[in-house]
Amino acid sequence: MGVNELSTVLYKELELLDDLLYKLTIQELILEANRPQWVDKSSQEIEKIVEDIRTLELVRALEISTTSEQLGLETMANLESITQIIEEPWQSILKSHLEALRNVTSQIDYISQRNKKSLQNKIGMTTQALDWLGETSLNNYSPNPEENRPQPHLINGIL
């Protein structure tokens, strides 16, 4: 265990974050294309990647702790602290990883906020349409299917 292993873990984490960005972009395209039937599948794929990232974060924390200890830092040192005292070529390599991680997480934050707003808007429009039709709103659905059965409505004189 050491700097090489830490670098490998950071590279794997960057790959997973890149996969997450890709899946979020796909979700954004699904939302823009008004294809709600694919939102659930997209969300499941995103959750799987997030689980993998969480698991890898534990490994990264262990590697950072080990590397910090080897360098004489506190065991709870962060990656930036390590990059400040480690010698070349590792300093450049770890700084490169850190910059890439910051860049991709910034992009993930941006697109996930856009997707969240888009989903909220679509839920709001659906709720308004149901209210206009006199249907039960999305917030009032019951686990009992009989209570959720839509009632017939006249629209333009047609039942």
Residue 91's pLDDT band, with cuts at 50, 70 and 90, is very high
Contact 80, 98 (CB under 8 A): yes
Contact 36, 122 (CB under 8 A): yes
Query: CATH classification of 3-134 is 1.20.58, yes or no?
Result: yes
* DSSP 8-state code for residue 72: T
Residue 155 backbone dihedrals phi, psi, to 5 degrees: -130, 120
* DSSP 8-state code for residue 89: T
Question: What token pair was written down for 68?
Answer: 């910090």
**Domain spans of the chain, in order of start:** 3-134
Contact 95, 87 (CB under 8 A): no
pLDDT > 90? residue 43: yes
- Rounded alpha-carbon distances, angstroms, from residue 87 to 63, 83, 84, 106: 17, 8, 9, 28
Task: Give the orientation angle of helix 90-133 with respect to helix 3-32, to 10 degrees.
Answer: 30
pLDDT > 70? residue 145: no
Give the tens place of pLDDT for each residue, 53-74.
999 999 999 999 999 999 999 8
- Residue of 112 and 119 predicted with greater confidence: 112
- Residue of 135 and 51 predicted with greater confidence: 51
> Any residues with CB less than 8 A from the CB of 110 and at least 6 apart, and which?
none
